[in-house]
């Protein structure tokens, strides 16, 4: 019955104008499920942090992204360029928050092998000298972020090389630097404060114990295609 109502609405919207049809048929973003339990990353990241981080913080980015997109669609339909431009910071912040966290959850695992393997390990050695040096460089970038932001291991398509980068706030790596994200470390206080208080370096040190290197390898393979 619900489906019927939705399709009637769409047909009605389509009869009004193509722009409205676009609004009616747009898919809303949804909070992705975690691929593990909230407590799976203990003792390195507490269940309480994971629960609040996923079900509150990430959920808020998803909700606010949907609101911003809806307003943006309205502005597009009206040809209101001023409103479209005014909505860009909200799209960047909430869209970035959704993109970043969706990557972050899959970058982590309770079954971390501890070290990268295969092609990923070879690329890390080639571009940083060793796995230890890459970790040092990325950890330093994470600790150095002023205020809130992210540290990233990314792939630069032009050179075919891995790069370490840092982004402020929720600036998404690919949209703001061109690098393809492989591994992100969230260094917002909401990611560690309940467990590590103000000591971000301890959180960054601990998170290496729960990196899903399989996921990082898959992302490199996909980026190389």
Q: Rank residues 38 and 188 by Cβ distance to Fe ion and give the closer one.
A: 188
CB of 97 to Fe ion, least distance (A): 7
Nearer to Fe ion by Cβ, of 124 and 185: the residue is 185
Token digits for 129?
């000298």
Residue closest to 10 by CA, chosen among 23, 67, 75? 23
The structure tokens listed for 204 are 């960054």
CB-nearer residue toward Fe ion: 6 or 175: 175
Question: Is 101 part of any known ligand binding site?
Answer: yes
Is 53 marked as a binding-site residue? yes
For the chain, count helices (H), then strands (E). 12, 3
CB of 54 to Fe ion, least distance (A): 9
Among 105-113, 158-166, 187-195, 207-215, which window interacts with Fe ion (CB under 5 A)? 187-195
Closest approach, Cβ 38 to Fe ion, in A, equals 14
Residues 40-99 that bind Fe ion (CB under 5 A): none
Number of amino acids touching Fe ion (CB under 5 A): 3
- Between 100 and 217, CB nearer to Fe ion: 100
The answer to whether the annotation marks 37 as part of a ligand binding site is no
Structure tokens at 120: 């990923």
Is 44 known as a binding-site position? Answer: no
Stretch of 1-9, 20-28, 178-186, 207-215 contacting Fe ion, by CB under 5 A:
178-186
Q: What is the token pair recorded at 56?
A: 């509150």
**Closest separation in Å from C-beta 125 to Fe ion:** 30
Q: Which one of the spans 13-21, 141-149, 180-188, 211-219 is the region binding Fe ion (CB under 5 A)? A: 180-188
Q: Give the length of the chain.
A: 225
Distance separating alpha carbons of residues 37 and 57, to the nearest angstrom: 17
Measured at CB, which residue is nearest to Fe ion?
A: 186
Name which position in 68, 145, 184, 186 contacts Fe ion (CB under 5 A): 186
Helix (H) or strand (E) holding 163: strand 161-168
Continuous segment of H or E residues that includes residue 182: strand 180-186
Under 8 Å between Cβ of 131 and 153: no
Q: Name the DSSP letter for residue 208.
A: G
Cβ contacts of 200 within 8 Å, gap of 6 or more? 142, 143, 187, 192
Determine the Cα–Cα distance for residues 207 and 7; give it in Å rounded to an integer. Answer: 46
Say if CB 152 and CB 164 are below 8 A apart: yes
Q: Least distance from C-beta 92 to Fe ion, angstroms?
A: 15
Residue 128 beta carbon to Fe ion: minimum distance, rounded to whole angstroms = 26
Known binding-site residue numbers for Mn(2+): 53, 101, 186, 190
**Interacting residues with Fe ion (CB under 5 A):** 186, 188, 191
């Amino acid at each position: 019955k619900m489906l019927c109502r939705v399709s009637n609405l769409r047909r009605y919207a389509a009869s009004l104008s193509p722009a409205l049809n676009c609004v009616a048929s747009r898919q809303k973003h949804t909070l992705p499920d975690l691929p593990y339990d909230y407590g799976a990353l203990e003792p390195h990241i507490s269940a309480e942090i994971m629960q609040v981080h996923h079900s509150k913080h990430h959920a808020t980015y998803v909700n606010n992204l949907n609101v911003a997109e809806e307003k943006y669609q309205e502005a597009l339909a009206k040809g209101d360029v001023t409103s479209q431009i005014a909505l860009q910071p909200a799209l960047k912040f909430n869209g970035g928050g959704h993109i970043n966290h969706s990557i972050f959850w899959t970058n982590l695992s309770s079954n971390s092998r501890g070290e990268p393997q295969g092609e990923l390990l070879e690329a890390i050695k080639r571009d940083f000298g060793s796995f230890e040096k890459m970790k040092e460089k990325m950890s330093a970038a994470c600790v150095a972020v002023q205020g809130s932001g992210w540290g990233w291991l990314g792939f630069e398509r032009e050179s075919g090389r891995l790069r370490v980068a840092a982004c402020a706030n929720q600036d998404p790596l690919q949209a703001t630097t061109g690098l393809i994200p492989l591994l992100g470390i969230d260094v917002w206080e909401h990611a560690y404060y309940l467990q590590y208080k103000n000591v971000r370096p301890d959180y960054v040190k601990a998170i290496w114990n729960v990196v899903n290197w399989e996921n990082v390898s898959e992302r490199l393979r996909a980026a190389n295609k």
